[in-house]
Amino acid sequence: MFGLPDGVSACLFDMDGVVTQTATLHAAAWKEMFDEFLRQRAQATGTEFVPFDPHREYDAYVDGKPRLDGTRSFLESRGIHLPEGTPDDPPGTPTLYGLSNRKNALVLAKIAAGGVQVYAGSITYIKAVRTGGIGTAVVSASANTKQVLDAAGIEGLFDVRIDGVVAKQRGLRGKPAPDTFLAAAEALGVPAAHAVVFEDAQAGVAAGHAGHFALVVGVDRVGQAAELRAHGADIVVKDLSELLDHGGETR
């Protein structure tokens, strides 16, 4: 049922890009923050300004990871090494925390300005599996998960929430490590072998693969099906409604 293997009793959903249409807001906030920094750095050093690619570089270095890890990963890809700083660094300070705080301020402003839209197919699917007696969890690197779910009015669709706040409290490693997904399965009382991961990020499907879950479903919203498979997705769909319509065909 639901395009899932027999014996599955828990579904673990990433939020941004799988349940809510907030991945584009995050990508835009990352681009605005990085471009500000890169432009200032180019002017100060007399080098060429090369803007952040909100598709290729977002997917490869930032998407699905904890905020600080995403900042560090992208900058290192450009050969830029900044001090870590402290969590209290003002937004825009040239430290990992300062740039990360700037990104967070930008995305919160974008969420407040435009509200939060959901993927209707995902909501239909989540309601269906819950009706079928399957437990549900939302697993996100975002520290703003509760605010986003509340804004969308869908927090009640999940029995468990493991997000950036919980991960920090518990010392859980972020994706691509499997820790947050494993914690969600444990909170639902389900072994990984009986749980399924739903992810749109390369780091997220890698986390699902590393956790040895029953199935890792890649959700391809931006034309990266091959990359999702390469990072560990067992099947790839464009929308979760396909799992209801066809039982989940590999694409």
- 121-135 pLDDT, tens per residue? 999 999 999 999 999
Instruction: Mark whether 14 is an active-site residue.
Output: yes
Instruction: Mark whether 16 is an active-site residue.
Output: yes
Residues in contact with 103: Cβ distance below 8 Å, sequence separation at least 6, in sequence order = 29, 30, 33, 67, 71
Question: Which is catalytic among the residues 6, 14, 53, 245?
Answer: 14
Given this model, what pLDDT does residue 251 score? 37
Q: Per-residue pLDDT for 250 more than 80?
A: no
Question: Which is catalytic among the residues 6, 16, 53, 150?
Answer: 16
Q: Residue 235's beta-bridge partner residues?
A: 217
Given this model, what pLDDT does residue 247 score? 53
Cβ atoms of 46 and 180 within 8 Å: the answer is no
46-85 confidence digits (pLDDT tens) = 999 999 999 999 999 999 899 999 999 999 999 999 999 9
Average pLDDT over residues 153-158: 96
17-36 confidence digits (pLDDT tens) = 999 998 888 899 999 999 99
Q: Which domains does the chain have, with CATH numbers?
A: 10-22+116-246 (3.40.50.1000), 24-114 (no CATH)
Arithmetic mean of pLDDT over the chain: 94
Given this model, what pLDDT does residue 1 score? 80
The sheet carrying 10-13 orders its strands as 160-162, 135-139, 10-13, 195-199, 215-219, 235-237
Share of the chain above pLDDT 70, in %: 97
Q: Flag the least confident range among 29-38, 89-98, 105-114.
A: 105-114
Given this model, what pLDDT does residue 110 score? 87
Cβ atoms of 127 and 157 within 8 Å: the answer is yes
Entry pTM: 0.84
- The alpha carbons of the chain give a radius of gyration, in whole angstroms, of 18
Given this model, what pLDDT does residue 249 score? 42
Given this model, what pLDDT does residue 24 score? 85
d(CA 186, CA 160): 10
Bigger pLDDT: 26 vs 210: 210
d(CA 29, CA 52): 11
d(CA 94, CA 103): 12
Q: Per-residue pLDDT for 93 more than 90?
A: yes
Token pair of 242 as six digits? 């396909």
For 148-160, b/e burial (b = at least 16 CB within 10 A) is bbebbebeebbbb
Average pLDDT over residues 112-120: 86
Label residue 151 by pLDDT band (50, 70, 90).
confident
Average pLDDT over residues 213-225: 96
Q: Per-residue pLDDT for 248 more than 60?
A: no
Average pLDDT over residues 138-157: 92
